Amino acid sequence: MNCPFCRYDDTKVVDSRLGKGGTSVRRRRECPSCERRFTTYERVEEILPWVIKKDGRREAFDRAKIISGMQRACEKRPVSVEQIEELVDKLERKFQECGDKEISASLIGEAVMDTLHDVDEVAYVRFASVYRQFKDINEFMSELNDLLKHSH
């Protein structure tokens, strides 16, 4: 493993532990060259479906894109980075377990919205406003009214 600080190519493992949920291994490493420490995570590489975009293009499933979108929606909300990681883990497992080789981007977006709806309604509205690209305030208000009806 290359050191992220000095690029030395032979770092040593100082400590290894199972990550949360037992699905990863957390390793503390130390670089003998610059003596700095860093953490790496090792996970089993799962076979995830390809994503079919709205324009028909296909691209590899990208966990980082989902995390990024959820982080933006949850900004300044009481949702921790750990919670977001756990939510994305669950979504990723759901997409793996469906067994499909391809999945539409819209299905992923809807799943993210459903997840956020259950966690934080403000984050849900933020994500929905970007994802659904409301054309005017009436569409946005309609979504808010639906949310209010279902939360009572």
What's the pLDDT score for residue 140? 74
Supply the pTM of this predicted model. Answer: 0.62
- The token duo for 79 is 């949702």
Per the prediction, the chain carries an average pLDDT of: 88
Q: How many CA atoms lie within 13 A of 5 on its CB side?
A: 12
Q: Which residue has the tokens 């799943």?
A: 111
**pLDDT tens digits, residue range 81-98?**
999 999 999 999 899 888
Average pLDDT over residues 56-79: 94
- What digits encode the pLDDT tens for the residues 106-136? 899 999 999 998 899 889 888 988 877 776 7
> Mean of the pLDDT values across residues 21-32?
90
Query: Contact at 8 Å (CB) between 24 and 18?
Result: yes
Q: State the DSSP code for 21.
A: G
